[in-house]
Amino acid sequence: MRVISGEYKGRRLKAVPGKNTRPTSDKIKEAVFHMIGPYFSGGSCLDLYAGSGSLCIEALSRGMTRGHCNDKNGKAVQTIKDNIEALKIEDVTVTKMDAFRCMKHLKDNHETFDLILVDPPYQSSNYIKIIKQLLAHQLVNDQAIIYCEHDGNEELPNDIEHLQVIKRTNYSKAIGITIYQYKA
């Protein structure tokens, strides 16, 4: 695993030890950021199921100015911290909690985001519930992008409240990507 482009281009990232975390491949990461960026002029990024933090780190490398990585797995949280420290990235917050508790915590701290990365364990997640909670807690800035990585056999709805699909693609039967944009 590595950073594909931007300030930290080519730098290697640690993967979370064990088989509980499924990292996004470099090929998919590159394609996704060409769809949603490919570069940013500032903004804030939330990686709700961060794993190694590679998606948030990629967004920061490409111009996001602030990041928040969350994972409930202790090994994942340590890996995120190790990757951030190795790259000397300063404006990243890391939390270890369930995604719904994290969203409540962010709401209580009046946080909002321009890019939200939702890449939970595929089969055990309710994407609509997650997205509706992001909206209910007002964590989504106007024109924000919400990236959802899911099982390739699952199809997410075209619209969820103020969100509209701007891109949908399958990379295989195993991996589907749905990208929403918030229209206030």
> Any idea where the domains of the chain sit in the sequence?
26-182
* Distance separating alpha carbons of residues 109 and 46, to the nearest angstrom: 14
- Cα–Cα distances (Å) from 181 to 36, 140, 161, in that order, read 10, 10, 11
Q: How many residues does the chain have?
A: 184
Reported pTM: 0.94
**Per-residue confidence at 78, pLDDT binned at 50, 70, 90?**
very high
**Cα-atom radius of gyration of the chain, to the nearest Å?**
15
Q: What's domain 26-182's superfamily in CATH?
A: Vaccinia Virus protein VP39 (3.40.50.150)
pLDDT, one tens digit per residue, over 23-47 is 777 888 888 899 898 999 999 999 9
Mean pLDDT to the nearest integer, 122-147: 92
